[in-house]
Amino acid sequence: MSGSAHHDESAARAARLERNWAAACIAIVAVLIIVTAYAGIHQATMPQVTAETVDPTRLHLSGEFIESNLGSELRPDGTVLVRAIGQQYSFTPQCILVPADTPVRLRMTSPDVVHGFLIDRTTVNTMLVPGYISTIDARFPEPGERHMPCHEFCGNGHEGMWGRVRIIDKAEFQQLATAQRRVDCVE
Amino acid sequence: MLSSSRLILAHFWLAFIGFAGALLLGEWQMFMRSPLSAWISHPEWYYRSVTAHGTAMAYVLPTLVAMGFGYFITEAALKRPLIGQNWAWAGFILAAVGTVTAVIPVAAGEASVLYTFYPPLIGNAFYYIGIVLVVVGSWIWVALMSVNLRLWKRDNPEAPVPLAMFANVAGSYLWAWTAVGAAMELLFQILPVALGLKSTIDAGLARVLFSWTLHAIVYFWLIPTYISYYTIVPRAIGGRLFSDAMGRLAFILFLVVAMPIGIHHLFADPQVGAGFKFLHAFFTALVALPTLLTVFTICASVEIAARLRGGRGAFGWLKVLPWRNPIMLAVTFSFLLLGFGGAGGLINMNYQFDSTIHNTQWITGHFHLIFGGAIVIMYFAIAYDIWPHLTGRALASYGLMRAQLWTWFIGMVLLSFPWHWVGLLGMPRRMAYYDYSDPSLAPLATSVILSTIGGAILVASGVLFLVVLIRGHRGPAMDPGLYRFAEALHQPVRVPAPLNSFGLWLGLMIGLTVVNYGFPIAQLVANPATNVPPVFVGAQQ
């Protein structure tokens, strides 16, 4: 009898310990979710809200991704809009020109296979999927030059697909952008 | 001896031969893209090798280990012969034929699309057909697990299903359902194009379907490891499982919440909106629960073993653990690697953190730490533990086993920690070549060399592993006795129906998948204007 009572008591103790630990685990997970939600709502980095499509077979013929429209555009509100495409195995423009300390929006897509890119030492990191437009916001505090490698396997030349981002002084960019409709690193 | 020991050995050996080949390729890749090697003259060789390495490690090794271990559990836990052995052999032959069918076009350079397929890149149709055969072979295993459990329950009404079998069947159901995503991608999208029946493909839809498989497959890889934590480790080190019910709950949670979270792989993708990304991030956080519960239960079980050996004090009991026992070593290493890998996973599940490391070498480091580290180290332990019961011979090379586990642990740390670091610095993944003479890449060189050395240590450890097993086939014949799984501190006499059956949980698993994937998939299917022509891959290019 006493053995069985002891058994019951230890089982109850084990169950209590387990419940406490499970409650702690749930609290940990809840905190993680709250942090994620809070960061998403209050910080700048957010995924684009909805999917935006574009006919990948007609990119070069019409619409915003025709060749003459690629590059950086100075908007009336002082922000910069960059349109670019990634294709096997380069970006167009291959070197993106942006001003320092200015809100920049990148709109990019792919006409052939899946690519991706990141700009090193920033949080700019996205995929390029044919048929869909990737939009991502950035702000580069200082002038300088950054790598922009393709980071998704896109075929046998993938390792050579490294673009660049050149960040120049705000005033200098303004000058270039008023002289030309779309600018990139090529003078 | 078990009636199906030849069947089980066949599964394990095919798995480990594939593993050994893939391990060598992995180290070759590490070397080729490190500063130790000059420009690789044929980058295509590198992608060919990555395709073979990934296919063998991600599909062949874990699937065959889960199948072989599943058959072992069925006999050893239900204590009766496996029903349907001819079917099981048919499943094995399908998996073996599928492996060979897939490997040939890969070796010929006709399918260098990496194991994640990446349409609209399209390789030789036989590569995909081979993978489909492996999956079909594994579905026979799923059906056999279900049938064996059902017949055992009929003969043992009301009895609790042994935990090992309960977990094993949960794992098989998880696999059956998670494989459906990639199967749809292969059968409805990729194969029709590879066979020339269709001329366009939607890459965005393909990525969503693949994500359905891509995350839960990790939990399928993990289930044999967790089964060994719960049902082998406590017995092997002379302890008791702290709680049988918590084990059941952990496996049920994996079954339900491992599935509807795969879109966290698509945080950076443009074809899915922010809402579903957040929903999947939420469920990704939930899947940490079964692991946190497991950490508690297994640490408590290990403590019981130590107390039974006379261990005292708040931490003093750690000293008396059987540290020379290979299973003790394996579970320790596995937990350490799981801790680091899990912490990395919690970082990845968050969109804001993910944007700094998405598709960098951090990710490669992360899944090598989790799969190659925490998971595979317990595959070794499982093999060591059950080998005498399969061969009827003693497995006595304890020194070699310890050396193998130590080298694997050290090698994996050396491989994956620098890998995480270079990822944080922005090094992109899956490239055959990096120009280390570039001033911004030059600081990465030392870390990449360290990883390459880690890989070499892993190759040595892999060789030791095979030596131990081969020696096991030549050891002195012995009677290993009846195989025993760990007993719980409080062995269940009766278990409530939800902890003893799957109906409710399968309903939830399917329901949650439909809720979390239904709308994104329907939306993508409804818009054919995003299709692109395929880009064929072949050595001649």
Would the pLDDT of B540 be above 70? no
The confidence score (pLDDT) of residue B497 equals: 92
Separation of alpha carbons B20 and B469, rounded Å: 13
Query: Which chain B residue has its CA at the smallest distance from A53's CA?
Result: B530
Structural contact between residues B499 and B86, judged by C-beta atoms closer than 8 angstroms: no
How confident is the model over A53-58, as a mean pLDDT? 92
Let me know if domain A56-179 sits in CATH 2.60.40.420: yes
CA of A109 vs chain B CAs: smallest distance (Å): 9
Determine, yes or no, domain membership for B540.
Answer: no
Q: Which two tokens stand for residue A77?
A: 């509100």
Does the beta-carbon distance from B286 to A134 stay under 8 Å?
Answer: no
- Domain of residue B18: give its range: 5-530
The confidence score (pLDDT) of residue B300 equals: 94
Cis ω before A89 (30° cut-off from 0): yes
CA of B420 vs chain A CAs: smallest distance (Å): 15
Substitution target in A151, A158, A162 with the highest count of B β-carbons within 10 Å is A151
Structural contact between residues B173 and B255, judged by C-beta atoms closer than 8 angstroms: yes
Percent of chain A as helix, strand, coil, to the nearest 5: 30, 30, 35
At B165, the amino acid letter reads M
Residues 94-153 of B with CB under 8 A from A: 112-114, 118, 120-121
Q: Which two tokens stand for residue B153?
A: 């329950």
- Global pTM reads 0.95
Q: Which residue has the tokens 């499509």?
A: A53
Active-site positions of B?
215, 219, 366-368, 429-430
Q: What is the mean pLDDT of chain A?
A: 90
Does the beta-carbon distance from B44 to A151 stay under 8 Å?
Answer: no
Q: Hey, is the C-beta of B521 within 8 angstroms of any chain A C-beta?
A: no
Domain count, chain B: 1
Rounded to two decimals, the ipTM of the complex is 0.92
Nearest CA to B96 among B19, B175, B23, B14?
B14
Would the pLDDT of A70 be above 60? yes
Please, which pLDDT band fits residue A2 given cuts at 50, 70 and 90?
very low
Would the pLDDT of A7 be above 80? no
β pairing state of A90-92 and A144-149: unpaired
B343 exposure class (CB count in 10 Å sphere: 0-12, 13-18, 19+): exposed
Q: What is the mean pLDDT of chain B?
A: 94
Would the pLDDT of B464 be above 90? yes
Q: Hey, is the C-beta of A23 within 8 angstroms of any chain B C-beta?
A: no
Contacts of B351 in chain A (CB under 8 A): 36, 40, 45-47
**How many other CB atoms are there within 10 angstroms of residue B529's CB atom?**
12
Does the beta-carbon distance from B285 to A118 stay under 8 Å?
Answer: no
Separation of alpha carbons B355 and A126, rounded Å: 8
Q: Which helix (H) or strand (E) holds A148?
A: strand A144-149
Contacts of A156 in chain B (CB under 8 A): 43-44, 47, 112, 537, 541
Please, which pLDDT band fits residue B432 given cuts at 50, 70 and 90?
very high
Q: Which two tokens stand for residue A157?
A: 């030349």
The confidence score (pLDDT) of residue B1 equals: 67
Does the beta-carbon distance from A131 to B289 stay under 8 Å?
Answer: no
Determine, yes or no, domain membership for B386.
Answer: yes
CA of A41 vs chain B CAs: smallest distance (Å): 11
Separation of alpha carbons B209 and B216, rounded Å: 12
**From A32, A33, A129, residue closest to B203, measured CB to CB:** A129
CA of B424 vs chain A CAs: smallest distance (Å): 9
Q: Hey, is the C-beta of A125 within 8 angstroms of any chain B C-beta?
A: yes
Determine, yes or no, domain membership for B536.
Answer: no
The confidence score (pLDDT) of residue A162 equals: 96
Determine, yes or no, domain membership for B537.
Answer: no
Cis ω before A93 (30° cut-off from 0): yes
Separation of alpha carbons B506 and B177, rounded Å: 9
For chains A and B, CB pairs below 8 A equal 212
The confidence score (pLDDT) of residue A55 equals: 92
Distance of CA A150 to the CA centre of its chain: 12
Show Cβ contacts of residue B149 under 8 Å, excluding neighbours closer than 6 positions. B78, B161, B165, B169
The confidence score (pLDDT) of residue A46 equals: 76
Does the beta-carbon distance from A132 to B530 stay under 8 Å?
Answer: yes
Which CATH number do you get for residue B225?
A: 1.20.210.10
Substitution target in A6, A28, A33, A43 with the highest count of B β-carbons within 10 Å is A33
Determine, yes or no, domain membership for B523.
Answer: yes
Name the 3-class secondary structure at B253: helix
Which of B28-42, B53-67, B124-138, B208-222 comes out lowest in average pLDDT?
B28-42
How confident is the model over A156-180, as a mean pLDDT? 94
Q: Which two tokens stand for residue B6?
A: 């030849």
The confidence score (pLDDT) of residue A9 equals: 83
Which of B8-12, B36-40, B426-430 comes out lowest in average pLDDT?
B36-40
Separation of alpha carbons A108 and A129, rounded Å: 9
Nearest CA to A107 among A70, A159, A148?
A70
**From A47, A52, A153, residue closest to B351, measured CB to CB:** A47
The confidence score (pLDDT) of residue B541 equals: 44
